[in-house]
Chains A and B, each alone.
Chain A
């Protein structure tokens, strides 16, 4: 049982499960909603055909409407952009880049009008939290759908988070974080790309730039959360874990030592701030 999005992570997990269990024992669940990129569903369907696994398309827009997901998100955006209309495309990006300045993380919201006009503003914490909390209904609804099929078929839900997402907290607790096994949670994104190549998953998926596919205006994962591309972030992180001198890292990755230190601090800060996402419910001993 795997939720497949047309992204590289779920593709690799689905391919691994198909190898491990046989394609007839893997069900791909495609769960688009109104803000999803139309490409995603197509890619996910093509993947399922490529792997020879069964797939089901569950459009979750109705469920999300039932949760007032869109209404609650739009309400917060309207507080920042009073002229916002529900048909405008929106996205959230991080306002700082560890390569340029100190890792002072704040967020920006951008709104794209139908005529192409783009407006961006700093997003105050309260509205940011509401936009994210409302959007998280998407991942949690997908988790519910996955467990519906898993329990119906006596199967397990395979999670698709990689190490970057898992350890830096780029996942929704009990949303995409809710799964029975997480086979690639220890692998850097750069390593997931290598598995994808080895497993010969469709080229069209390997070539895609990772996006969140959560906001109506497309936003890359670099812009939304990580701030640095994976080909820099991942080797720098490995170096940090293995106490490689910053000077050597800077030389190898074409950065200044200062930039390396800022990446390190950003990693540590994200890990620290998202600890509670990785904690199981606290019980009394």
Chain B
């Protein structure tokens, strides 16, 4: 295949469909779990994963966990 600068372009609609189907199957059948928990940082990767999970399972089956630095409790243990 010939190389060109747009070689990584994908059919985003098709990839989204494939991934949501796969997420559904992996979570329900392979893992036998009821939903997903995603750590969301405000970055692009966790955002995409959370969005795919919400499409695949329904938003009510996805819990986003935001774990900021500071502000929360912090204790040091020895």
Contact = CB atoms under 8 A, between A and B. Distances in A.
Interface of A: 58-66, 68, 275-276, 279, 282, 284
Interface stretch (B3-11, B29-37, B43-51, B57-65): B29-37
Most chain B CB neighbours (cut-off 10 Å) among A58, A66, A275 = A66
A63 B75 contact: yes
Contacts of B77: 58-66
B22 interface: yes
Contacts of A59: 77-78
Contacts of B73: 65-66, 68
Nearest to B76: A62
B26 interface: yes
B58 to A, nearest CB: 20
Contacts of B75: 62-63, 65-66
A231 B74 CA distance: 45
Contacts of A276: 30-33
B54 interface: no
A66 B77 CA distance: 9
Interface string B12-35: 000000010010001000111100
A30 to B, nearest CB: 12
A64 B75 CA distance: 9
A62 B19 CA distance: 41
Contacts of B30: 276, 279, 282
30 contacts: A58-B77, A58-B78, A59-B77, A59-B78, A60-B77, A61-B77, A62-B75, A62-B76, A62-B77, A63-B75, A63-B76, A63-B77, A64-B77, A65-B73, A65-B75, A66-B73, A66-B74, A66-B75, A66-B77, A275-B32, A276-B30, A276-B31, A276-B32, A276-B33, A279-B30, A279-B31, A282-B30, A282-B31, A284-B19, A284-B22
A68 B30 CA distance: 31
